[in-house]
């Protein structure tokens, strides 16, 4: 009898996910669908804007993403602003991000989702960054 790879693990066994799967911010038990690359990038940027990780993890995340090609020009510019203003407090950066993005040529973009609160931990941030990097390496 064949086993179903989507079945629930036995009691006490952890559920495993493919390492290249992009992880959700919240759970979507209704569809189980992984979010697309732009959605994960947005969550990563939100996590960086809210400093969900300790300073070492935050700096490591910035370093890991330094050569990453974001899927949208807005995400690319937001990351560059984050990287160039990494010594500015998170609150100040969130306050100044809209005018900075506008001055960089993004006046009509919907940047508000970048400013929403993020519920990720530093560990979730790194896991998702590694998933993005693995996904982009396949392209």
Establish if 26 belongs to a structural domain: no
Query: Is 3 inside a domain boundary?
Result: no
Domain-embedded: residue 27: no
Amino acid 66: pLDDT: 96
Q: What is the pLDDT of residue 26?
A: 44
Q: Is residue 44 part of a domain?
A: yes
Distances (CA, A) of 137 to 20, 24, 67, 124, 130: 10, 20, 12, 20, 10
Instruction: Examine the pLDDT at 44 and tell me if it is beyond 50.
Output: yes
Q: b/e string for 7-26 if b means 16 or more Cβ within 10 A?
A: eeeeeeeeeeeeeeebebbe
pLDDT at position 5: 43
Residue 96: give the domain boundaries: 37-138
- Asked if pLDDT for residue 116 goes beyond 70, the answer is yes
User: What pLDDT digit, counting tens, does each position of 75-95 carry?
Assistant: 999 999 999 998 898 899 999
User: Within a domain: residue 93?
Assistant: yes
pLDDT in tens, 54-67: 999 999 999 999 99
Q: According to the model, what pLDDT value does residue 49 have?
A: 94
Within a domain: residue 25?
no
What integer pLDDT is reported at residue 22 of this predicted model?
54
d(CA 136, CA 81): 21
Which value, to the nearest 10 degrees, does the dihedral of the CA atoms of residues 54, 93, 36, 3 take? 20
- Residues 91 and 126: their CA atoms lie apart, in Å, by 22
Q: Nearest 5°: phi and psi at 45? A: -65, -40
Residue 77 structure tokens = 């510019």
pLDDT band at 33 (very low <50, low <70, confident <90, very high): low
How many other CB atoms are found less than 10 A from the CB of residue 33?
Answer: 8
Specify if 118 maps to a domain.
Answer: yes
46 in a structural domain: yes
Q: How many domains does the chain have?
A: 1
% of the chain at pLDDT higher than 70: 76
């Amino acid at each position: 009898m064949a086993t179903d790879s989507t079945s629930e693990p036995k009691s006490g066994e952890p559920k495993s996910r493919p390492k290249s799967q992009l992880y959700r911010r919240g759970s979507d038990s209704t569809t189980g669908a992984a979010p697309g690359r732009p959605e994960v990038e947005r969550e990563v940027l939100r996590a960086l804007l809210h400093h969900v990780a300790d300073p070492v993890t935050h700096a490591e995340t910035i370093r890991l993403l330094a050569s990453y090609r974001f899927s949208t020009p807005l995400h690319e510019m937001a990351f560059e602003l984050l990287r160039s203003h990494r010594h500015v407090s998170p609150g100040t950066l969130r306050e100044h991000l809209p005018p900075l993005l506008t001055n960089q040529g993004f006046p009509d973009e919907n940047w508000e989702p970048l400013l929403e609160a993020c519920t990720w931990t530093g560990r979730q941030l790194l896991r998702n960054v590694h998933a993005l990097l693995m996904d982009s390496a396949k392209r």
